[in-house]
Structure 1
């Protein structure tokens, strides 16, 4: 009963610091058994078990209350077995409760706090932290593989572990539970003496900290733990002071801003069973010192404190985000305010310009009224009447002509004068009237052509084709006033065979007129009248050549616009050339004027169908090579077309129709009677023909050079008496 009472007392004491929980410490016996088990010494392990059982039996005898010698754990069979093996019982162990009380008294009397954690005490230094055998004593009774490995790595007894000897010196204290005893049976203490002493020291440190908090002078000192210098004790290692860090509201706000800046940074976490993606801010928050568990005391209070801290942190983070959002909104509102101020300033400047432009408009209106009243419309021009006001608009308001509609104001005072002048304007007599004023003030007269020039070809390609264009005031004035007068003059007064006046009109107004008005004059007025005149043209009876009144239009209308008229002219000339003889040189005069106007293909096609057959017929029927009486007129009629016919066509005519006949005559002359041939006469005849070809301008023609080389070979062979090859016909 005494032993059971002791067990019950120990059971009560074992729950003082652990809340009733049992600490499963490893004893020296466990280490020895483990070493022997790995070493394979089964017999020694059985002896250790028998010795431990004998200790338990001895304790049972001591606790017997005299009521029959009842034993504790074990039976007579177990004791008989021990008796047979002659195993002696070891003396009883020391009472751990007495050792704990004694250590507590020593700790209270010293009143000194140790700050090193249990983990650090286990690691230790050269000074042992609790009584017990060191590694030196441990090596005397240990021969396992672990000791052999330590010695092979350079460790010697009496020194700390590690390369520099800075590690622990004393082994971890362990306590062996008796065999076949359950956990906590009869209040058996699993904890070692060293562990209980460390817990008592921590309790004393906590009490001292609570006392310091209570006696603090200010609330800040009550919540902030002061660092105390460790006091060394006899035979014990100095503990490293615990440094507790706290975060202020400013630190949390700074950390929140950094997290917001780094919220896009992701980290791949592969420490768990699956791969996941987390934010860098979450990792930093987890490592925060204020969230680390440093003790296990008062779990409810620490839980509540964590809730308060988390709520406060959330509020601070929300306030930080709200502050950042408000700052962004404030920055945006400032930018918007600056934009509004700039627009207001621009509107004020535009308003001032509008007022100044309005004053100029009133001045123009008054000038127009005065000119109408005193008759200055008849003699003065636009520049004389409104030049000063127009110059102000051109200098100060050129970039705002469209926005302010200044072209409408200019046309409003210009149109009455133009209308009045057009009534008395003779277009054919004064084709350039008014063009100088238009060219000078054209920047103030807006047109749709100006926008088309500014836009690139790609932009015009994407523009809607069906979008209608609204005529500008300038275009309306020119279309209703100026074009009406010009249309009447061209249709009713202008003679097609006298193109100079209208040609001068189109050249002078080409760059100032709106494009649609210029094209309207060409396609609606000029080309139809020219086409009717060409259709009425008779090449046989008309004494005036057609090129006289058609060619002046080439710079204005271009040849591609006159293509249909040229086709009609070629058709009429082809009809006339059917009865034409090359002796009539008028055809050469008429057709020669169109060589540079028609294309090369058109000219070759026309010549091959209408001119070349006539020339070939004359050379075959009328041209004869006769050394006694040579007639050159038929040859001259044909060689005159050298500049009209192409080189290929002209060379083919010489090679097929002229030079074969000439070479045949020379061959007959040289082969009739070699003894009677006068080579001096042949030479003179040859040189005379060269002068003839040179006078017609064909001396350097490739076909002529080929023919003369053949003639020289024939004369050389005849003079040498060799065989003369006849010419190929």
Structure 2
């Protein structure tokens, strides 16, 4: 018969009834608990789960000096005990486990943890389960107490009151935002050394949440967790690819829009160019019709180019100059110009009217393209790149001037022009030089003018020719420049040197002839010529014919020599005065002052000195430094003589 008791029976009081769900117990864990019941536990001992040392403990010291073990033994440590003052620390050293060669992390379920790590994790989980069971048992027992009377410090924490780690989850929008932000930022390089070779991966491939989730800490349902992780990784990869594709599509769309704008602008430019081409075509037809009408009416003979084609030429010059340059429309202009020029050159007298047709070419020169104009525009680029055009093709204008205009000019210079009448050809070259192509201008100079001048100078006879050579050579200097006339000047100097061999300074014609070349020849050429041909003659005259005589002074030899002042260089002229004139003049003064004092008349000496100063002033050397030096010495000598002092001989 069963013992039935009421509400106040002792069975209820003695039995602790728990309404928590039952837990499945592990016999191995219970066995470990039973073995550890009688052992004292402390927080430090709970944290240490190292087993007793194995038989091979510290066997590696035989390969070393054992310095570390000796230091520990000196500080009180004994083999087989834990570290620390009470021996509650680690007993065994940290174990390591070698991964097979070439195997990556987690390959085919390879366990990275060692036995020591597994044992410590098991002990830690058992302690946590014991604490949870104690909390679960203690909570119902104290449930009858009033919570407001229980001090806050003595409340027993429950399972719900334990603050669990917060798990964060990311939505698809969060992942897309992170991917876009990571793409905008500078990518970071991560070195993966887990495989057989080193490789670089992106930071997004290894990104995880800050706190581990329950799936990452638990060991249950590995297949499901693995599949879920694969699904998450695949979804993340798909989202990243879609985001990257979206961004690339946006970039391509922007590039295509920019390209569309460029194409539209180009299309607009092409339409404008096409319109201008149609207008230029109409102008070309107009030029053709005007040319035909002028040929039929005979207007070629009287009308000029501006009268015939002024209106269409003006339109091309003001509105369509770019088309003229790029489409080479100068051929169209030359096509109507060449027949008129050819007709007029037949009856053209070059020497009588050298400016025929020049005004028309000057006015419409921009329409007549020339390689010289293009060279000026490309000169700076060639200076930087150091490249020259291999070959140049003659423009229509250059061809017209070379075949029509130059032939007429060549015929006139070779057959009609007299060298000693240079004005007509000089006027022709000076007027046409700005508009002529450079090669045509150089052709006229080197092939026509200079050869004829050279032959004329070679035939020139300075003795018998009444016309001085400079009268028909010097007018060419502005056009030809002195460097082009260098060979001709050399021939002239040679001929003058031959004439001056028998020259006497009393003949002033040499001074006139040589003086004309003072600004043409270089200073070095002139000095060399004078020192070789003129200076010896002057020295000879001063030494033989010039005598300082107070009674009967002859000044003609002195005047002949001093007339070369300004042609001789300052240094050469100063040496001539210093060596040939004033020493003789001062010696005469010294003799006069050193005579018997009874016969010396200082008033006559003073008058003689003042007379010579007037002579030097009239000859143009009053302010010459050499003259001032010698007159100062003369005054010193006269002062010394008047004072009765001795005079030093010069």
Report the TM-score, using the length of structure 2 for normalisation.
0.75
Q: 1:391 to 1:20 in 2, by over 3 A?
A: farther
Distance 1:474 1:455 in 2: 20
Q: Which residue of 2 aligns with 1:255?
A: 178
Structure 1 residues 341-390: Cα deviation after superposition (integer angstroms, max 9, x where no partner): 22222111111100000001111111111111111111111111111111
CA contact (8 A) 2:167 2:211 kept: no
| Aligned ranges 1:589-608 → 2 under 5 Å | 589-608=512-531
Q: Which residue of 2 aligns with 1:16?
A: 24
1:528 corresponds to 2:467: no
CA shift, 1:631, in A, is 1.0
Q: 1:33 to 1:581 in 2, by over 3 A?
A: closer
Alignment match of 1:414 (pick from 333, 337, 340): 337
Q: Which residue of 1 aligns with 2:280?
A: 357
Distance 1:191 1:686 in 2: 140
CA shift, 1:241, in A, is 6.6
Q: 1:193 to 1:689 in 2, by over 3 A?
A: closer
Q: Which residue of 2 aligns with 1:345?
A: 268
Structure 1 residues 479-501: Cα deviation after superposition (integer angstroms, max 9, x where no partner): 11111111111111111111111
- SS of 1:658's equivalent in the other structure is helix
CA contact (8 A) 1:14 1:20 kept: no
Q: Which residue of 1 aligns with 2:540?
A: 617
Q: 1:331 to 1:302 in 2, by over 3 A?
A: same
Which stretch shifts more, 340-349 or 262-271?
262-271
Q: 1:499 to 1:341 in 2, by over 3 A?
A: same
Q: 1:422 to 1:190 in 2, by over 3 A?
A: closer
Distance 1:301 1:258 in 2: 32
1:370 corresponds to 2:378: no
Distance 2:648 2:129 in 1: 145
Q: 1:435 to 1:497 in 2, by over 3 A?
A: same
Q: 1:415 to 1:701 in 2, by over 3 A?
A: same
Distance 2:469 2:583 in 1: 39
Distance 1:29 1:476 in 2: 124
1:642 corresponds to 2:565: yes
CA shift, 1:694, in A, is 0.7
CA-atom RMSD in angstroms: 3.5
Alignment match of 2:494 (pick from 571, 577, 595): 571
- SS of 2:565's equivalent in the other structure is helix
Alignment match of 2:619 (pick from 686, 689, 696): 696
CA contact (8 A) 2:504 2:537 kept: yes
Distance 2:532 2:421 in 1: 33
- SS of 1:716's equivalent in the other structure is helix
CA shift, 1:312, in A, is 2.1
Structure 1 residues 286-306: Cα deviation after superposition (integer angstroms, max 9, x where no partner): 648789725443322222111
CA shift, 1:24, in A, is 6.9
Structure 1 residues 423-451: Cα deviation after superposition (integer angstroms, max 9, x where no partner): 11111111122222212111111111112
Q: 1:679 to 1:310 in 2, by over 3 A?
A: same
Which stretch shifts more, 574-583 or 392-401?
392-401
CA contact (8 A) 2:168 2:209 kept: no
Alignment match of 2:133 (pick from 185, 197, 209): 197
Alignment match of 2:224 (pick from 301, 313, 320): 301
Distance 2:129 2:189 in 1: 49
Which stretch shifts more, 563-572 or 280-289?
280-289
Stretches of structure 1 that go unaligned for 5 or more consecutive residues are: 1-12, 38-143, 147-182, 184-188, 202-232
Q: 1:600 to 1:190 in 2, by over 3 A?
A: closer
CA contact (8 A) 1:262 1:281 kept: no
Structure 1 residues 73-125: Cα deviation after superposition (integer angstroms, max 9, x where no partner): xxxxxxxxxxxxxxxxxxxxxxxxxxxxxxxxxxxxxxxxxxxxxxxxxxxxx
Q: Which has the higher contact order (CA 8 A, sep 6+)?
A: 1
Which stretch shifts more, 380-389 or 244-253?
244-253
| Aligned ranges 1:144-293 → 2 under 5 Å | 194-195=130-131, 197=133, 236=158, 238-240=161-163, 244-262=167-185, 264-266=187-189, 279-282=202-205, 284-285=207-208, 287=210, 293=216
Distance 1:17 1:414 in 2: 118
Which stretch shifts more, 27-36 or 375-384?
27-36
Q: 1:28 to 1:282 in 2, by over 3 A?
A: farther
CA shift, 1:523, in A, is 1.1
CA shift, 1:547, in A, is 0.7
CA shift, 1:333, in A, is 2.6
CA contact (8 A) 1:427 1:486 kept: yes
Q: Which residue of 2 aligns with 1:673?
A: 596
CA contact (8 A) 1:267 1:280 kept: yes
Q: Which residue of 1 aligns with 2:460?
A: 537
Distance 2:126 2:377 in 1: 98
1:455 corresponds to 2:391: no
How many residue pairs get aligned? The number is 537
- SS of 1:641's equivalent in the other structure is coil
CA shift, 1:722, in A, is 2.1
Q: Which residue of 1 aligns with 2:79?
A: none
Distance 2:333 2:31 in 1: 107
CA shift, 1:668, in A, is 1.7
CA shift, 1:247, in A, is 3.2
Q: 1:295 to 1:571 in 2, by over 3 A?
A: same
- SS of 1:264's equivalent in the other structure is coil
1:488 corresponds to 2:424: no
Q: 1:471 to 1:28 in 2, by over 3 A?
A: farther
Q: 1:17 to 1:567 in 2, by over 3 A?
A: farther
Q: 1:145 to 1:649 in 2, by over 3 A?
A: closer
- SS of 1:672's equivalent in the other structure is coil
1:582 corresponds to 2:481: no
CA contact (8 A) 2:168 2:211 kept: no
Q: 1:24 to 1:641 in 2, by over 3 A?
A: farther
CA contact (8 A) 2:419 2:452 kept: yes
CA contact (8 A) 1:23 1:190 kept: no
- SS of 1:642's equivalent in the other structure is coil
